[in-house]
Amino acid sequence: MEQVVDGEEESGRAVLGRTLKFLREHAGKTLGQLADETGYDKSYLSRLESGERLSKLAVMEDLDSYYGCGDLLVSHWKIARYDAFKDKYKRYMALEAMARQLRVYTPSVPGLLQTEEFAREVLSGPQTTAGSTEEVEEQVAARMGRQLLLRKEPSPNARFIIDESALRRPSASAETWNGQLQRLEAVAQWPNVIVQVLPFSAGVHHLMGKGSLTLLWQRDGSAVAYTEGHSLGLLMDDPEDVMHHHLSYDRLRDLALSPSDSLTFIRDVLEEHRT
């Protein structure tokens, strides 16, 4: 399906759209018939075929089942979702998707652990996703797609250190916040994931006010460090830089609550919210 146009590689979204159109026409269906038989809006399906929209993963699963083509559309979708990210993030996202170990510190709820509803609220802010509701939905779909890496086989070993401030700043919707806290509680019990809370009682620390830090290790042992703050991201693969940030992460881990105490902390916050 890949092709080169005017010396440039065709985008993943364009390949997905062209595949959708090919499958529909091969099945002898019009857009109207497809809409009637799948329950999806005709104009929505048209924009998917033209590459104007990025759907949720569930839509591709439905259409894979409808056409009986295995996981063809899901596979194309996993590539197309990168088009929703800015160019400077694409290399990081590719490395994240293949990582065997992840170490994350963030002063907010990590994107990899957000519910769809919470992510939508975060990405709808004026300083995050500028543009239409459709653009926000594409960002939400892409963020949900990132989370697939935590459940794939073999699953990566992941550790998240979350600042207490993230748990004390609820979303605008009580229902959304309840769902998000439940999500954190559930993920903290997955065998491949460790969640630690960095409490206020830990005091001032060296990453305060500097944004988030992520460390990724690949199967071959190579590693990168990624820092992000104030909408600026920096990806580093120099061994000295990675080692410096690894040591920095370890110091922060030592200040955080233990995994079991962190789970208790999350449950206490959840109970406080419910009452």
Contacts of 23 by beta carbon, 8 Å cutoff, 6+ apart: 63, 67, 69, 73
CA neighbor of 53 nearest in space, from 138, 131, 139: 138
Summarised one tens digit per residue, pLDDT across range 55-102 is 888 899 999 999 999 999 998 888 787 775 655 577 888 899 899 999
Tell me the sheet residues that pair with 197.
Answer: 162
Long-range contacts of 238-241 (CB under 8 A, 24+ apart): none
- Looking at residue 165, what is its pLDDT? 95
Summarised one tens digit per residue, pLDDT across range 197-206 is 999 999 998 8
**Domain locations in the chain?**
4-82, 87-274
CATH numeric code, 4-82 = 1.10.260.40
**DSSP state, residue 231:** T
CATH 3.30.870 for domain 87-274: yes
CA neighbor of 13 nearest in space, from 108, 71, 64, 84: 84
- Per the CB < 8 A criterion, the answer to whether 88 and 233 are in contact is yes
**Residue 4 reports pLDDT greater than 90:** no
Please give the model's pTM, rounded to 2 decimal places.
0.71
Give DSSP secondary structure letters for 85-124.
S-HHHHHHHHHHHH-SEEEEEESS--GGG--HHHHHHHHT
